[in-house]
Amino acid sequence: MARADWADLRLRLETTERRLEISERKRAFLQKRLALGSSEEDSTLWSYVDLLSLLLILFILFYSHAAVRKGSAEDTTPALQKSTVVQSALGKKPTPASDSMAPPLQASDKIESEQERQDEALKQLRKQILQTVSAQDEDDLSIRWHQRRLIVTLGEKIMFQVGKANLLSDFQPTLKQIAKLIAPQRDYRVSVAGHTDNTPINNSQFPSNWELSAARAVNVAKFLILNGVDPERVSIEGHSAYRPLRANDSSLNKQSNRRVEITLFKDHQTGLDSSTFLNGGP
């Protein structure tokens, strides 16, 4: 018990003792008055006074006992500390508080830990892909990290001729290396999405940009599959000119919008390309 608590308890006991002393004085006074009365009246009052005195003493004992118990409770060694003392006395190694009192791992913590592990795997993949890109292709290949998805953007300049869907031979060795890096990542799905600018196209092969964007995505997906990527993991999307990265108001911006995006994501995540989120949804 703290020193201030003991002082408070001592003050209360002294106050109670003074009240008891005053009560005894009143009792002695009543005894003198009763000595002048009849024997019958004296017997009744004496019993009443004795009863009051006994009750007062009883209440004092109860109060003192309660005050002592309260002070003892404040000084009680915490349960964990008691356990450590007992274990030490028995020759056992005390259990560290951080282990014994640690809460169980919650489901949300497990999910977060799994996501961090996945993120680290994709970050390593991004680093490896960047190492395969030659200096001359760096301007037309970029890798974006968006909402726990890895997005590899392949520009038209290194992939296709304008208005065509056949893969250029010069970039195929690099794309082959990218496929070999993606193939072992079996925990991830692969979405291949084709994009064009808003320049209209209408020929015998591609009646519109829809067919052109889809054909480009198909050819890239086929190339990945031929180089080890599981076809069950692959999906194909053609978005025409409706998910641009930049406004189609200049030749440079239009060139940026003509692209194919390879997106790696977990099954529970959406396979839409990053421009979906950059432009507020489909």
Tell me: pLDDT of 179 over 90.
yes
Average pLDDT over residues 14-37: 72
pTM of the model: 0.55
Average pLDDT over residues 8-13: 73
Same domain, 86 and 173: no
Same domain, 11 and 56: yes
One-letter amino acid for residue 3 of the chain: R
Tell me: pLDDT of 208 over 80.
yes
Higher pLDDT, 103 or 121: 121
Same domain, 65 and 138: no
Residue 28 β-bridge partners: none
pLDDT confidence band for 61 (50 / 70 / 90): confident
Residue 234 lies in a domain: yes
Name the CA dihedral angle for 233, 238, 244, 245, rounded to a multiple of 10 degrees.
20
Whole-number pLDDT of residue 256 = 92
Whole-number pLDDT of residue 267 = 74
Q: Which tokens go with 54? A: 């006994």
Same domain, 126 and 246: yes
Domain total of the chain: 2
Across 118-122, 158-162, 226-230, 245-249, least confident range: 118-122
Q: What domain range includes position 80?
A: 3-98
- Given 98, 127, 158, the domain boundary residue is 98
Whole-number pLDDT of residue 73 = 54
pLDDT confidence band for 151 (50 / 70 / 90): very high
% of the chain with per-residue pLDDT over 70: 67
Cβ count near 243 (within 10 Å): 22
Tell me: pLDDT of 263 over 50.
yes
Same domain, 62 and 157: no
Q: Rounded mean pLDDT of the chain?
A: 77
Most trustworthy range by pLDDT among 18-22, 30-34, 117-121, 253-257: 253-257
pLDDT confidence band for 71 (50 / 70 / 90): low
Same domain, 85 and 119: no
Same domain, 119 and 91: no
Task: Give the CATH number, domain containing residue 152.
Answer: 3.30.1330.60
- Helices 107-132/172-182 angle, 10° precision: 160
